[in-house]
Chain A
Amino acid sequence: MNKINTIHSRFVPLQEENVDTDQIIPARFLKATTREGFGKNLFRDWRYHNDNELEPKQDFILNDASYNGQILVAGKNFGCGSSREHAAWAIKDYGFLVVVSSFFADIFKNNALNNGLLPITVSEAFLASIFALDKEATLSVCLEKQTITIDATGAVETFDINAYKKTCLLNGYDDIDYLISNKAAIENFEKNRA
């Protein structure tokens, strides 16, 4: 898995609440058997009319080339619904490394963390101040310090992250490495409960 620590980037504001994983990646794209290539179908039905790449919906933020960056900023309850990890894969594959929201759905948050995509939960007020920025503005994220900063104003907020998950992201470790290293304890547990 990729390592994450500091990110300095412009951002894409998606001012929607309850963005569910069916919007992030519609079910008809889940027929793939690999993890790659989902980015082109990210927010497919919000992005295109009639499922046609030649008919982009002009008012959708990903179709506005003046917005870009590695940080996606969205309204509360982001990633609700299905457990499909394809949602995290699609966001990552599109080029985002960080998703900022005031509230994440549980399964999406875990899926993001397991894929080197950093979910940052900020206060409603801080989220509103990001949405109020102009499109040239940049954000700085430091995972080590657990901070997110609006560069133009210097406004900074600290975010929570589980210490174990933080270590994983900083070093590019995944849970499987950890679990496999504990196989003796798992076998012991099985023996004792039998």
Chain B
Amino acid sequence: MGKTLFEKIWDTHIVQEVTDGPSVLYIDKHFIHEVTSPQAFKGIEDRGISIFRPAQVVATADHNVPTLNQHLPITDALSRFQVDTLIENCKKHGIELYGLGHEHQGIVHVIGPELGITQPGMTIVCGDSHTSTHGAFGTIAFGIGTSEVEMVFASQCLLQTKPKLMRINIEGALGKGVVSKDIILYIIAKISASGATGYFVEYAGSVVRALSMEARMTICNMSIEMGARGGLIAPDQTTFDYIKGRTFAPAGAAWDTALAYWQTLYSDADAAFDVELTIDAAAIEPMITYGTNPGLGIGITKNVPTAADMQDDGEQKNLEKALQYMGLTAGQSLMGMPVQHVFIGSCTNSRIEDLRLVASLVKGKTKHPNVQVMIVPGSQKVAKQVVQEGLDIIFKEAGFEIRQAGCSACLGMNEDKVPAGEYCVSTSNRNFEGRQGAGARTLLASPLTAAASAVTGVITDVRTLL
């Protein structure tokens, strides 16, 4: 029987099988950032050992950095200390750091691909659950905890149990105004926030094949929001074209060798999956979430569910609690509801293509006066490209504020927060209680829907503006 894409990569990275236990899995690339690494560095030092393969570790500062005045010392003392600790640790252990001010700095899941570090067939980990993003290149990429960061420091390996495999085929034609964020929000709403726990998910089908790398990354990024440890997509010409010529991409003869290998990375026709689903793209509308987990989403023209739509008492209670937090009523429509904030950024939707989408919609328009709009590019490179392409002028004329690269209001670790009780249409990945600030109410949506809502000041079906 044939192998799945996942198995082809997994099998070539197994150092050792452990009897009745997990396998020793070799890790090609290890991304680290300031928040989940300091305790791992300390652990290594306490054990009196050194980092086994420092050249395979790449660091950046993204989660806990300001998005204003990055050339000045960080004002928050704890944040400054954490970022300084990363600088010191990287220096001490010989790790390449793309810190604040470096031209390669940015959100870890944006810079890995854009620098050509992320390549098909690799195993990639990072102390961040959205490491699944890199799966868009046909990699096994997943988030790990800090103890696991320490394990990779110590051995360039992890003990892992092989996950179950799911394939989600997306077929048919996408409607007007429907983009990859809508696809993944639709899938999560369909199978729930825990529907893929224990699985790695391969996304396939004609719709996926037609997507750009940026759009594929958005889909793989949110795999974790349905519980999957990771998501992946077989590399193809779109992937190869994206990688070619990037800073750390192979070149010359090395490119030919790499390409020959990459072209073998697909699930064989007779490969078996534990679960297989097919999604009809035509059924997907622009999506928006109404609740406090990413599975609580609806098509923009649909009404918020009622208790009668829920399957059991537990779900009913969850719905009630979520709606209470969100200040919403069962059965209501979201369209036309005023919003106070729009956040465009995060490892889900802060790439140049996302910002081009936003610009295409807002060009010649201005934001509604009651809405504050923040655009946070995913990296220094993206920020530079925004200026080169003149998108910054479109955004400024629209009254959007452009910040510097970082995770920003996606997780509310720095100053970029949404005030309690206010609504934010956000292109990020989580709408948990307090995620964007204590009491903040997050509505997840695509960059297009976010842009549309910024212009109208209310939750808007973007198709009415196209």
Residue A53 at the chain B interface, CB threshold 8 Å = no
* Given A83-B128, A186-B15: A179 in contact with B227 (beta carbons within 8 A): no
Residue A45 is within 8 A (CB to CB) of chain B in the complex? yes
Does chain B have a CB within 8 A of A171? no
B306 at the interface (CB under 8 A from A): no
The residue from A26, A80, A82, A180 contacting B438, defined by CB atoms under 8 A apart? A26
Which of the four size classes fits the interface of chain A? 35 or more
Contact, CB under 8 Å: B159 / A105:
no
Contacts known (A83-B144, A107-B229); A23 close to B81, Cβ less than 8 A: no
Q: Which chain A positions have C-beta within 8 A of B15?
A: 182, 185-186, 189
In the complex, the chain A residue whose C-beta lies closest to that of B125 is A83
Q: How far is the CA of A26 from the CA of B161 in the complex (A)?
A: 29
Residues of B contacting A45 in the complex (Cβ-Cβ under 8 angstroms): 433-434, 438
* Range of interface residues on B (Cβ < 8 Å): 35 or more
Whether a CB of chain B sits under 8 angstroms from the CB of A27 is: yes
Contact between chains at B155 and A17 (CB < 8 Å): no
Inter-subunit contact A180/B49 (CB<8 Å)? yes
Q: Report A-chain residues with C-beta under 8 Å of the C-beta of B317.
A: 17
| Stretch with Cβ within 8 A of A (4 or more), from B18-26, B100-108, B241-249, B379-387 | B18-26
Whether A107 touches B432, Cβ cut-off 8 Å, given contacts A28-B412, A163-B20, A179-B157, is no
User: B435 touching A22 by the CB < 8 A rule?
Assistant: yes
Query: Does B128 contact A27, Cβ atoms closer than 8 Å?
Result: no
| Given A27-B411, A163-B20; A107-B129 close (CB under 8 Å) | yes
Among A90-98, A110-118, A132-140, the stretch in contact with B: A110-118
Q: Are A76 and B314 in contact (CB under 8 A)?
A: yes
Tell me whether A85 and B434 are in contact in the complex, defined as CB-CB below 8 angstroms, given that A75-B314, A76-B194, A179-B154 are known contacts: no
Q: Of B36-44, B133-141, B205-213, which binds chain A?
A: B36-44
Q: Which residues of chain A come closer than 8 Å to B145, judged between CB atoms?
A: 83-85, 88, 107, 110-111, 114
How long is the Cα–Cα vector from A95 to B78 in the complex, in angstroms? 26
**Is B449 part of the binding interface, using a Cβ–Cβ cutoff of 8 Å?**
no
In the complex, which residues 11-33 of chain B have their Cβ closer than 8 Å to any Cβ of chain A? 12, 15-16, 18, 20-22, 24, 26
State whether the Cβ of A10 lies closer than 8 Å to any Cβ in chain B: no
Any A CB within 8 A of the CB of B99: no
Contact call B434/A26, Cβ cutoff below 8 A: yes
User: Is B147 close to A, CB under 8 A?
Assistant: yes
Pick the contact of A165 from B21, B81, B194 — CB < 8 Å? B21
CB within 8 Å of B: which of A1-34? 16-18, 20, 22-23, 26-28, 30-34
A115-127 vs B, CB cutoff 8 Å, 1 = contact: the mask equals: 1000000000000
Q: A31-B413, A34-B42, A174-B147 are in contact. Are A77 and B197 (CB under 8 A)?
A: yes
Known: A114-B148, A185-B15, A189-B26. A77 touches B85 (CB 8 A): no
Task: Judge if A66 is at the interface, Cβ distance under 8 Å.
Answer: no
Per-position binary interface string of chain B over residues 85-129, scored 1 when its CB falls under 8 Å from any chain A CB and 0 otherwise: 100000000000000000000000000000000000000000111
B-contact 0/1 string along A65-107, CB 8 Å cutoff:
0000000000111001111111010000000000000010111
What B residues does A88 contact at CB under 8 A? 145
Chain B, Cβ-Cβ closest to A35: B39
Partner of A17, one of B38, B163, B318: B318
CA distance A171 to B313 in the complex (A): 41
Q: Is the CB of B155 within 8 A of A183?
A: yes
Q: How far is the CB of A22 from chain B (nearest CB, A)?
A: 4
Question: Is A64's CB within 8 Å of the partner chain B?
Answer: no
Query: Could you tell me if A33 and B227 are in contact, using CB atoms closer than 8 angstroms?
Result: no
- A-B complex: 4 closest residue pairs judged by Cβ atoms: A164-B21, A85-B145, A33-B38, A114-B147
